[in-house]
Amino acid sequence: MSVLVDTDTRVVVQGITGGEGKFHTAQMMEYGTNVVAGAVPGRGGQDVEGVPVYDTVHEAAREEDANASVVFVPPAFAADALFEALDSPVDLVVAITEGVPQQDMARVYRRLGETDTHLIGPNCPGLITPGVAKLGILPGNIFAEGNVGLVSRSGTLTYQVVDNLTKRGIGQTTAVGIGGDPIIGTDFVDALELFERDSETDAVVMCGEIGGEDEEEAAAFIGEHMDTPVAGFIAGRTAPPGKRMGHAGAIVSGSGTGTAESKIAALNDAGVPVGDTPNEVADHVEGFL
């Protein structure tokens, strides 16, 4: 099985006529993703890579029975694109766009709470069910079908951990890159809950980083609600307080929370082994299976 993305996923690409949208549409289709439409205001009637383009997501979903959207729209217009997707029939929205203003995301987050839609991102690599479909920019060649779920704030870290798993013959059910911004749609707890309910996910890898308290909250959820074993990794152990490292959300305020040490301690208390390297994460997963 898998979470969020399967053989029934039919994708509309918002921003399909732009350089990034066009390139990654081709990559997704080459992987096997069922991209059925594009949506760009004023571009209805065109086609990209043989995919019909509509003026709105709602029209694309209606005409092509799309149930998921991937957003490749510049930051200044991303909020409008997300509002449009949330007001459409699609039930999964994956926002790849980096640099979306946080005040815009605060408004989007409020609207998200009024829907049943899953939003992944923004500022994320997307998600992939190996051998079935990928929505986003992940390099499909490093993934393999299997029984380990993965959720990560970092795209690059996702690739490192997955590469280690795949080289050991450990495949994945679904990998979800939730993004590293302070305000995102799907967080660790949301993803972990999905994996816990998936009967074919036998273990989960959770890759976090400094900043915020999401990993501590995830640790509490794991300790109280998960039977599926979880292995962890926390990036940013040597980052100085007050300095942002990489993602907009990867900053430690100096309040005693949000540090690598506090996150590792919380995970250890919940019974989650935390690897010092991606290779050690694979060691822990191997021990579960």
Chain segment 77-116, per-residue pLDDT in tens: 999 999 999 999 999 999 999 999 999 999 999 999 999 9
Annotated active-site residue in 24, 58, 247, 284: 247
How is residue 76 written in tokens?
Answer: 């200044």
Neighbours of 204 (CB within 10 A): 26
Is the pLDDT reported for residue 121 higher than 80?
A: yes
pLDDT at 250: 47
Question: Are 143 and 94 part of one and the same domain?
Answer: no
Is the pLDDT reported for residue 9 higher than 60?
A: yes
Would you say residue 256 lies in a domain?
yes
Point out the domain boundary residue: 120, 155, 186: 120
**CB neighbours of 140 closer than 8 A, spacing ≥ 6?**
27, 31, 128, 130, 134
Which residue did the predictor score with more confidence, 240 or 273? 273
Q: Say whether pTM exceeds 0.75.
A: yes
Is the pLDDT reported for residue 181 higher than 60?
A: yes
Q: Round to whole Å and give the CA distance between 149 and 288.
A: 13
**CB neighbours of 280 closer than 8 A, spacing ≥ 6?**
none
Please provide the average confidence, as pLDDT, over all residues in the chain. Answer: 93
Question: Are 150 and 254 part of one and the same domain?
Answer: yes
| CATH code of residue 64 | 3.40.50.720
Is the pLDDT reported for residue 264 higher than 80?
A: yes
Question: Are 90 and 29 part of one and the same domain?
Answer: yes
Question: Are 155 and 277 part of one and the same domain?
Answer: yes
Would you say residue 2 lies in a domain?
no
Q: Using 50, 70 and 90 to split pLDDT, how confident is the model at 188?
A: very high
How is residue 232 written in tokens?
Answer: 């962890």
Would you say residue 272 lies in a domain?
yes
Q: Round to whole Å and give the CA distance between 160 and 132.
A: 21
Which residue did the predictor score with more confidence, 211 or 31? 31
Q: Average pLDDT for residues 241-264, to the nearest whole number?
A: 63
22-48 pLDDT per residue, tens? 999 999 999 999 999 999 999 999 999
Taking the alpha carbons of 204, 209, 214, 219 in that order, is the dihedral positive or negative? Answer: positive
Neighbours of 141 (CB within 10 A): 9
* Across 72-76, 109-113, 260-264, 270-274, least confident range: 260-264
Going from the C-alpha of 268 to that of each of 50, 111, 147, 170, 281, the distances in angstroms are 50, 35, 23, 23, 14
Concerning whether 247 is annotated as a catalytic residue, the answer is yes
pLDDT at 238: 57
Is the pLDDT reported for residue 211 higher than 90?
A: no
Would you say residue 173 lies in a domain?
yes
Is the pLDDT reported for residue 133 higher than 70?
A: yes
pLDDT at 256: 56
Q: Average pLDDT for residues 234-246, to the nearest whole number?
A: 63
Question: Are 152 and 110 part of one and the same domain?
Answer: no
Point out the domain boundary residue: 56, 87, 120: 120
270-286 pLDDT per residue, tens? 999 999 999 999 999 99
Amino acid at 16: I
State whether residue 13 is helix, strand or coil: strand
Q: Average pLDDT for residues 105-130, to the nearest whole number?
A: 98
Q: Average pLDDT for residues 179-188, to the nearest whole number?
A: 95
Q: What is the DSSP string of 58-102?
A: HHHHHHH---EEEE---HHHHHHHHHHHHTSS-SEEEE--S---H
- For residue 222, give its domain range: 139-288
Q: Average pLDDT for residues 251-268, to the nearest whole number?
A: 76
Point out the domain boundary residue: 120, 153, 170: 120
